[in-house]
Structure 1
Amino acid sequence: MSSEEFRPPAPTPESRIHGCLLGGALGDSLGYAVEFDDIAGIRSRFGPEGLQDFSALDGGSHFSDDTQMTLYTVDGLVEALEWANDGTAADANACVWLAYLRWLATQGVPVPPSAPAPQPRWIDGQEALKHRRAPGNACLSGLATGEMGTVYRPVNPDSKGCGTVMRSAPFGLIPHVPAEAVYKLSSDAASLTHGHRSARQSAGAFSLLIHALAGGQGLREAAEYALNRGREQSDPEPALISRLERALQLAESSGQAAGKTALLSPEDLVRELGEGWVAEEALAVALYAVLATVPAGADPETAAVSPQRHFRDAIVLAVNHSGDSDSTGSIAGNILGAFYGEDCLPAAWLESLEAPEVIRGMARQLVSVTGS
Structure 2
Amino acid sequence: MNFSSTVRGCLMAGALGDSFGYLIERDDLASIKNRFGNEGLLDLSQSDAPVHFSDDTQLTLFTLDGLIEAIDWANQGIAADHLACLWLAYLRWLRTQGEQIPENAPQPPRRWLDQQQVLLHRRDPGKACLSSLLSGDMGTIQKPIAAEAKGCGSVMRSAPFGLIPHLDAELAARMSLNAAALTHGHPVAYQASAAFSWLIHQLAVKRLSLAEAMTSMKGYLETLSAESVLLGAVQDALRLASEQTGASYPAGAELSSALGLGWVAEEALALACYCALVTEPEATSPTAHYLTAIRVAANHDGDSDSVAAITGNILGAHYGEACLPTGWLLAAEAPELIYAMADEFVRVTGSEAS
Match of 2:296 in 1: 317
Instruction: In structure 1, give the amino acid aligned to 2:217.
Output: A
C-alpha RMSD of the superposition:
0.9
Looking at structure 2, the residues matched to 89 and 111 of structure 1 have their Cα atoms a distance apart, in angstroms, of 25
Structure 1 residue ranges without an equivalent (≥5)? 1-10, 299-304
- How big is the shift at 1:113? 1.1
Instruction: In structure 1, give the amino acid aligned to 2:271.
Output: V
Match of 1:5 in 2: none
Match of 2:308 in 1: 329
Residues 1:19 and 2:9 are matched in the alignment: yes
- How big is the shift at 1:163? 0.2
Contact 1:220 1:291 in 2 (8 A): yes
CA-to-aligned-CA distance 1:345-370 (integer Å, 9 cap, x gap): 01001111101111111101101001
* SS of alignment partner, residue 152 of structure 2: coil
Match of 1:367 in 2: 346
- How big is the shift at 1:61? 2.0
Identity of aligned residues (%): 54
Q: 1:226 aligns with which of 217, 221, 224?
A: 217
Contact 2:102 2:136 in 1 (8 A): yes
* SS of alignment partner, residue 166 of structure 2: coil
- How big is the shift at 1:62? 0.7
Looking at structure 2, the residues matched to 364 and 120 of structure 1 have their Cα atoms a distance apart, in angstroms, of 20
- How big is the shift at 1:103? 0.1
- How big is the shift at 1:110? 2.0
Residues 1:341 and 2:320 are matched in the alignment: yes
Q: 1:351 aligns with which of 312, 316, 330?
A: 330
- How big is the shift at 1:104? 0.2
Q: 1:285 aligns with which of 238, 257, 271?
A: 271
- How big is the shift at 1:111? 2.9
- How big is the shift at 1:179? 1.4
Looking at structure 2, the residues matched to 135 and 112 of structure 1 have their Cα atoms a distance apart, in angstroms, of 17
CA-to-aligned-CA distance 1:62-112 (integer Å, 9 cap, x gap): 100000000000000000000110111111111011000000001112232
Match of 2:249 in 1: 263
CA-to-aligned-CA distance 1:312-341 (integer Å, 9 cap, x gap): 000001000000000000000000001000
Instruction: In structure 2, give the amino acid aligned to 1:119.
Output: P
- How big is the shift at 1:60? 3.2
- How big is the shift at 1:272? 0.8
Q: 2:125 aligns with which of 135, 154, 161?
A: 135
- How big is the shift at 1:180? 1.5
- How big is the shift at 1:261? 1.8
* SS of alignment partner, residue 166 of structure 1: coil
Structure 2 residue ranges without an equivalent (≥5)? none
Instruction: In structure 1, give the amino acid aligned to 2:62.
Output: Y
Contact 2:141 2:181 in 1 (8 A): yes
- In the superposition, the TM-score normalised over structure 2's length comes to 0.97
Looking at structure 1, the residues matched to 76 and 288 of structure 2 have their Cα atoms a distance apart, in angstroms, of 43
Instruction: In structure 2, give the amino acid aligned to 1:223.
Output: M
Looking at structure 1, the residues matched to 226 and 123 of structure 2 have their Cα atoms a distance apart, in angstroms, of 33
Q: 2:52 aligns with which of 62, 68, 78?
A: 62
Contact 2:101 2:107 in 1 (8 A): no
Contact 1:22 1:360 in 2 (8 A): yes
Contact 1:111 1:145 in 2 (8 A): no
Residues 1:238 and 2:228 are matched in the alignment: yes
Instruction: In structure 2, give the amino acid aligned to 1:337.
Output: G
- Give the count of matched residue pairs: 350
